Amino acid sequence: MIDYTKYKLKPVEEIREIFNQIDGSVFILICKKCYKEFSTNTELEKENLYNSLTEENKHKIVECIDIDFLCNNYHTKKAITDLSTKIIDFIKDSGAIGVISCGLGIQLVASLFEDKKVLALADSVPESGNSTSPQGYHGIALGKEKCGTCGQCYLNRTGGICPVVNCSKSLLNGPCGGAKNGKCEVNPDIPCAWEEIYFRLNKQNRPLLNEIQVRNFNIFPFKNKKEISEINLYSRGKDFLRGIHPLDKKNLTENSKIKTFPEPETVIIFLSQHAGAPAIPVVKVGDKVKIGQKIGEISGFISSPIHSSISGTITAIEEKTHPTLGRKMPAIIIKNDNKNEFDDSIKAVSLDNIPGEKVIEVLREKGIVGMGGAMFPTYVKLFSKKPIDTLIINGCECEPYLNGDNRLMIEYGDKIFKGIEIVKKTIGVQSVIIGIEENKPEAIESMKKQILGNDYIKISILKTKYPQGAEKILIKSILNRQIPEGGLPLDVGVVVLNISTLYAIYRAIYEGMPVIDRVITISGDYVKNPGNYLIKIGTPIKSIIDFTCGSDFIKSDDKNKKIFMGGPMMGILQMDIDTGLIKGTTGLTIMESYPVESSEERECIKCGRCVDVCPVDLFPLQYYYYGKKQDWQKTAEYKVKNCIECAACQYICSAKIDILKYIKKAKKYAYNKT
């Protein structure tokens, strides 16, 4: 790995001179460096700094502080405002602030403390030698290839070897003639780029230059540069800071109406389809069950009952691989008798004159859980004793490929609105806000129509950005409230419900129907008939794949296929397809697997991209670094509890490190300890 460290300490004499001119104390900020092999060690810089100072000057230093990615505007500002008052006093009283960083970090600190003297104690390291334009450009990986960012790529003419950076004279019309034994005359350590170009083109039987492109130094005007910087800063800063914009491919299914998926032959209904204790089966093998009949009972304060989604006979109660937990869990297997008989318990509930607690009880009995994926029992959320002032309806669906909630809003806006009314009445909130991303104009229109004339309910149109739909982020975007570390939305007086959950609530009350089916999106590269389907809970994944990808899909070479329950970002990779759909399944995406898999083993190069995309202001690279060392104390100090596991860091990671694995381990430790 090439070390592209951007700075080194100034020469000793210069540092001494700088310090001699300072009256009063000096506060030192050190950048932890980037583009290098990971280490958090800045001791060497400190030591060298102290060694180059005289005794008298050493005493001028009051405090040294290390900062990750000092040039990162947002984080550095935050880190400085978060410093303890004692340290801030040091800064106020000090005669100067010394910065050990590349020029970017120093300029940032200087702009933050405009009225303070800011000392540059380091020089940036010139990287690319002869490049005639801004330097050090190596994409994002630490390779040898450089790009001179000339704005008129010559690589098409030169067989992929760049004359602008590789020829020390940046010649564009052939060799200068000064090369000796294939080496450059300016610097005999480097090969003559034009000879390399000649040999490369020979291999491809291509002529060397049949035309010359003259270089235009004005190709990228300042105006465009500024424009692009502004677009970039804007798109990253809107609503919540950072986040990512993955390829969403929503167009595959956004216009396909919700269809009913064919009735399954058998269903696999897991006893654990919710956060909390698994349900206890109340039926036995051989029993006949009807649609909507309760087959599993609540077994703790946080739990939920389960219901049969078809009518038929119970053939087994056995262990199957759970689609989200990934381990064997008990499930009830029911064979369909295709009689479609409904259970007697399915009766609409009259809302007149019944107290809120009664409604919550109905919702509990009907097995309503958060259907956005987390599967937290809804009755627990609504039963909270904490004061709640706002109900947020999550219609973001920021996950790529998925359109289930979008279609529900378009087609069943009236029912969702009725669901909102039920919840509003039950918990007595004054204000309801529906958050919808701006890429769903049809859904926004449909919901606007529904809420007409109801002042308490508003639609908040949010920027399309992942992970806009994560609870914590949504609350921040809409209400600008910050959930405390390890806390819940209830802690800031908010209940967040997902569109599918509201639809289920509507059906539970107005139709008496427990959660036996839901709308999911089936999409992805391999799906022949992508669409949004109303599908029974417990439908085997295998039968879904047979239906959507053809029955020979499974038999053929499986290495290149990935089946995600959910979308490609937060969805869970299915290793075993002998499993069934659960209440929290938002979709099924069947994708071509990516040639380079994320791995825990690769080396971090400290490019800082994960820090830049993290929507909750964490430093994901630290979880990798300390996780690898199994230093779980440190990962907890870096607030791993705040992580929402959106996987944005893993998505952007330029080294393709499986950061999420480290985060999950670190979280486990953080929660077990307290």
Partner 1 sequence: MLITKLKSYNELIPCFSDKVFVIKCSGCKEVYLPEEEIDIFLEKQNQNIISIKRLDYLCNEDFSRTYSETYNNFIEKSDVVVIFSCGVGVQVISKILEYKKVFAGCDTNYINGFQGISAQSWDCRQCGECYLNYTGGICPITACSKHLLNGPCGGYKNGKCEVNSEMDCGWVMIYNRLLKQKKQEKLITKCRIRNYKKYISTDNKISK
Query: With the CA atoms of 267, 269, 274 and 276 taken in that order, what torsion angle do they form, in degrees rounded to the nearest 10?
Result: -170
Distance of closest approach, residue 379 Cβ to partner 1, in angstroms: 40
Which is closer to partner 1, CB of 74 or CB of 383? Answer: 74
Q: How far is the CB of 587 from partner 1 (least distance, A)?
A: 20
- Kindly state the smallest distance separating residue 436's Cβ from partner 1, in Å: 23
Please, which residue, 164 or 362, has the CB nearer to partner 1? Answer: 164
**CB 124 to partner 1: min, Å:** 4
> How far apart are CB 255 and partner 1 at their closest, in Å?
19
Q: Which is nearer to partner 1, 230 or 637 (CB)?
A: 230
Closest of 146, 124, 122, 144 to residue 136, by C-alpha: 146
For residue 240, give the amino acid letter.
F
Is the Cβ of residue 40 or residue 149 nearer to partner 1 in the bound state? 149
356-365 vs 413-427: helix crossing angle, rounded to 10: 130
Choice between 71 and 402, CB closer to partner 1: 71
Of 371, 363, 377, 380, the residue nearest 408 (C-alpha): 371
Q: How far is the CB of 45 from partner 1 (least distance, A)?
A: 12
Q: Which is nearer to partner 1, 76 or 303 (CB)?
A: 76
Q: Is 470 left (phi over 0), alpha (psi -120 to 50) or beta?
A: beta
Q: How far is the CB of 142 from partner 1 (least distance, A)?
A: 8
Q: Are 70 and 122 spatial neighbours (Cβ–Cβ below 8 Å)?
A: no
DSSP sequence for 352-378: TT--HHHHHHHHHHTT-B-TTTT--BH
In angstroms, give the least distance from the CB of 349 to partner 1. Answer: 48
Of 328, 335, 276, 325, the residue nearest 305 (C-alpha): 276
Least CB distance to partner 1 at residue 498 (A): 27
Distance from C-alpha of 139 to C-alpha of 4, rounded to nearest angstrom: 12
- 424 contact partners, CB below 8 Å, separation of at least 6: 391, 432, 456
How far is residue 586's CA from residue 408's CA, in Å, rounded to a whole number?
A: 12
What six digits make up the tokens of 352? 């007149």
What whole-number distance in Å separates Cα of residue 483 and Cα of residue 489?
6
H/E segment holding residue 197: helix 193-203
**Residue 285 vs residues 50, 332, 333, 581, 621: alpha-carbon distances, Å:** 77, 9, 9, 21, 50
What is the pairing mode between strands 457-462 and 494-498? unpaired
User: CA-to-CA distance for 436 and 433, rounded, in angstroms?
Assistant: 10
User: CB 475: neighbour CB atoms within 10 A?
Assistant: 24
Q: Rounded to the nearest whole angstrom, what is the least distance from the CB of residue 241 to partner 1 in the complex?
A: 9
Closest by CA to 505, choosing from 586, 418, 393, 444, is 418
Dmax of the chain from CA atoms?
97
Smallest gap from residue 194 Cβ to partner 1 (A): 15
Nearer of residues 372 and 567 to partner 1, judged by Cβ: 567
Least Å distance, CB 253 to partner 1, is: 19
**Sheet strand arrangement including 587-592:** 259-260, 531-536, 517-523, 587-592, 561-565, 572-573
